[in-house]
Chains A and B, each alone.
Chain A
Amino acid sequence: MKPIVFELFANLERLAGTKECRIDVDGGVATIGDALALLAQGHPELAGSLERCACVSGDTIVRRADPVPADGRIALLPPVAGG
């Protein structure tokens, strides 16, 4: 299975010190929720912020119970504050 790439925005990027986090996965990762659990293990600095992040594939919000997107890319969007 190919790695899953998390794209980080705003405060998440600052916490991780990078725009992308790549995690290698085995067959046990089916859903976005599974992938987030692995990300939290590998990046404890992000763990406390993930609960309030929306996950996005392309230009669409996806849910924790959804399967990992085919391209393996998940954008993590922390709480928003435009305007």
Chain B
Amino acid sequence: MNRIALSHEPVAVEPLLELDTHPECGGLALFVGTVRDHHEGRSVRHLKYTAHEPLAAKVIREVEHSTRERYGVPYVRIVHRLGDLAIGDIAIVCVVRAPHRAEAFAACRYAVDAVKHGAPIWKEEFYTDGSSAFVEGCCIRDDLDEPDTASHRHHSHASHG
């Protein structure tokens, strides 16, 4: 599969929708994550996404596959932007085509959450005071039994959504 999962260039939404195919589908759910101008009370000027690209691309393809299987939907497509982004730029796009809206919404939400929690992508925020910081995220070790994993993941999801 040579469809890109990671893009160093701005992401165009329209080509990802595949509106001219999937005639059996009556629902299209689209999530577009954009760069926000604040984070936990701090004013954000711009940010930078970096990734471990081989694993991040693999995780995104696995999430697309597992989402199709889990929700029985024919088309799931996710692209995550990398590099320097300005406020309002597109960070992530997730498109789901489905016969009906219920599974389209559910699958889209599941896929976005799975990428945020599992793909090795990092967000470095640059603040208006000139400082910068990496946003605290989710540990993706699979051999660590952290007692607070569940609550941590919840916190992370809520604060970065």
Contacts and interface: CB of A to CB of B under 8 A. Distances in A.
A75 B144 CA distance: 17
B140 interface: yes
Contacts of A60: 55
B143 A65 contact: yes
B135 interface: yes
A80 B91 CA distance: 15
Given A80-B137, A80-B138, A9 B143 contact: no
Given A61-B142, A63-B142, A82 B54 contact: no
Interface string B129-161: 000001111111111100000000000100010
Interface in B18-60: 33, 49-52, 54-58
Contact of B120 (A14, A65, A80, A83): A80
Interface string B86-124: 000001100000000000000000001001111111111
Q: Dominant SS at the B interface?
A: mixed
B144 A51 contact: yes
Contacts of A55: 141
A80 B136 contact: no
Interface in B64-84: 80
A21 interface: no
A60 B138 CA distance: 17
Q: What interface size band does chain A fall in?
A: 20 to 34
Interface in A48-82: 51-56, 58-61, 63-65, 75, 77-82
Interface string A5-25: 000011100100000000000
Contacts of A83: 33, 80, 91-92, 112, 115-116, 121, 160
Interface of B: 33, 49-52, 54-58, 80, 91-92, 112, 115-124, 134-144, 156, 160
3 closest residue pairs by CB, A with B: A81-B137, A82-B121, A10-B122
Given A81-B156, A82-B122, A83-B91, 20 more contacts: A10-B124, A10-B134, A51-B144, A53-B141, A54-B139, A59-B57, A60-B55, A61-B55, A61-B141, A63-B142, A63-B143, A75-B55, A77-B52, A79-B138, A82-B49, A82-B91, A82-B92, A82-B116, A83-B92, A83-B160
